[in-house]
Amino acid sequence: MQSERMTVAEIRAGASLAGVFGLRMLGLFFILPVFAVHASQYRGGENLTLVGIALGAYGLTQAILQVPFGMASDRWGRKPVIYIGLLLFAAGSFFAASAGDIWTAIAGRAMQGTGAVNSVVMALAADLTREQHRTKVMGMIGATIGLMFALSLVAAPVLDQWIGLAGLFALTGILALLAIWVVWSQVPDALLPRGPAAGVIPRASLLDPELLRLNLGIFVLHVILYAMFMVVPPLLISAGLDLSSHWKLYLPVVLVSFVIMVPPILYADRRNRPKPVLLSAVALLFAVEASLGALNMGIGGLAAAMLAFFIAFNVLEALLPSLVSRVAPAHGRGMAIGVYNTTQTLGIFFGGLCGGWIAKHFGAAGVFATCAGLACIWLAVAAGMRAPVRMGSEKAAVNPAQG
């Protein structure tokens, strides 16, 4: 039926917001493959602890400000808060481009993180789409982020040769300004959800078991992701794949995983069966970590394991934010998604921290065993989840003048 299909306004909203995420994340991903290599150019950059702080400063300020930005968007509207966040992100990027010492680079990265608009963009996506189509929109956003990651692995070394690290930071700022134009010109306006006082969400809602399960899930997923990438690149080098050629494995693996993730996402959407899809993806995640820890794999085995990992990761990245948007009360959606994004960002921080410590003391096998244990805990917690009831009559709060 026509009502079951995405409207033109919903497709436009999903595509444009995915573009906003993509432009912002592409700039961040450009920095990751080259920053540690070039940090020694900064005064004080020989201190690896400070280099690590520079990389992590973005995530720390993101974690602190996700909830305040979400609450502000519930009260004053999504778009104004997104504009402010993207301007702060761009300012931090240009400031980092001017850095001559590691402390200025740290300040620039921290300023980038003050543009904590992930939760606001996701809340706007939820506002502009009906419930039965939100997983598709979140999938569009997740797929765009993954494509940007894959593109950055190929393009960053080439761009680095042309414009250097400072140029990459400046390019990141330019992409953020371009994202502002996309929000202004392409993203439909949305009416703020009605309900209790804007920006106020009952404490009981934040402690809802279903939201807690979802927040635990995104935390574990990103702990696993960042812990894995403390040890996977060295394993690939040991298996005979030079660092400069790692993109040859990552790029096809990520692209193929996008294709394979589509059927389970469509099944979860059309049949309203997110629980079996989520549990299957977490079980696949556990199987990947357990096999990596138990087997001595060559390039082929590592490629197969990474393909399975990215299939599970992409499915979960699409499902989890959609479920949060459905479980959270409409009037507090921005704050609820802010809490979700905060736990995600903390997962990034603790994944790198714990992954490095475990790798140092117990090697790659210890990292994979820990990740498998975390996936097992997540699977046990998620087994008790209740799929949200679909409200077929729900309408997206789209301004009719923009529809």
Q: Which of 237, 241, 250, 240 is nearest to 154 (CA)?
A: 250
Integer Cα distance of 15 and 62 in angstroms: 24
The tokens describing 141, both together, are: 């956003």
Residue 337 lies in a domain: yes
Any idea what the CATH number is for the domain that residue 383 is in? 1.20.1250.20
- Name residue, tokens 């990596």: 292
Residue 222 and residue 184 share a domain: no
Query: Residue 184 above 90 pLDDT?
Result: yes
Integer Cα distance of 116 and 107 in angstroms: 15
Question: Higher model confidence: residue 354 or residue 32?
Answer: 354
Residue 96 and residue 19 share a domain: yes
The tokens describing 288, both together, are: 């990947």
How sure is the predictor about 312, in pLDDT bands with cuts at 50, 70 and 90?
Answer: very high
Give the mean pLDDT of 105-113: 91
Integer Cα distance of 289 and 374 in angstroms: 10
The tokens describing 390, both together, are: 């679909």
Backbone angles phi, psi at 239, to 5 degrees: -80, -5
Residue 144 and residue 209 share a domain: no
- The 10s digit of each residue's pLDDT in 276-290 is 999 999 999 999 999
Residue 149 and residue 14 share a domain: yes
Angle at 246 between CA 25 and CA 262, to 5 degrees: 55
Residue 132 and residue 105 share a domain: yes
How sure is the predictor about 70, in pLDDT bands with cuts at 50, 70 and 90?
Answer: confident
How sure is the predictor about 202, in pLDDT bands with cuts at 50, 70 and 90?
Answer: low
Residue 96 lies in a domain: yes
**Long-range CB pairs of 268-272, under 8 A, 24+ apart, other chains included:** 268/135, 268/319, 269/132, 269/133, 269/135, 269/136, 272/132, 272/387, 272/390
pTM strictly above 0.75: no
Residue 183 and residue 227 share a domain: no
Question: Higher model confidence: residue 3 or residue 241?
Answer: 241
8 A C-beta contact, residue 85 and residue 116? yes
Mean pLDDT, the chain, as a whole number?
A: 81
Query: Residue 197 above 50 pLDDT?
Result: no
pLDDT of residue 253: 85
Question: Higher model confidence: residue 56 or residue 245?
Answer: 245
Query: Residue 390 above 70 pLDDT?
Result: no
Residue 392 lies in a domain: no
Residue 403 lies in a domain: no
**Long-range CB pairs of 82-85, under 8 A, 24+ apart, other chains included:** 82/20, 82/117, 82/120, 82/121, 82/124, 82/183, 83/180, 83/183, 83/184, 84/115, 85/114, 85/115, 85/116, 85/117, 85/120
Q: Final residue of a domain: which of 139, 166, 191?
A: 191
8 A C-beta contact, residue 320 and residue 218? yes
Residue 258 and residue 241 share a domain: yes
Residue 183 and residue 299 share a domain: no
Residue 187 and residue 206 share a domain: no
**Domain range enclosing 282:** 200-387
Q: Final residue of a domain: which of 132, 166, 191?
A: 191
Integer Cα distance of 329 and 376 in angstroms: 29
Question: Higher model confidence: residue 197 or residue 97?
Answer: 97
Residue 394 lies in a domain: no
What is the domain count for the chain? 2
The tokens describing 295, both together, are: 């087997």
Among 156-170, 229-243, 358-372, name the one with the lowest average pLDDT: 229-243
Residue 205 and residue 186 share a domain: no
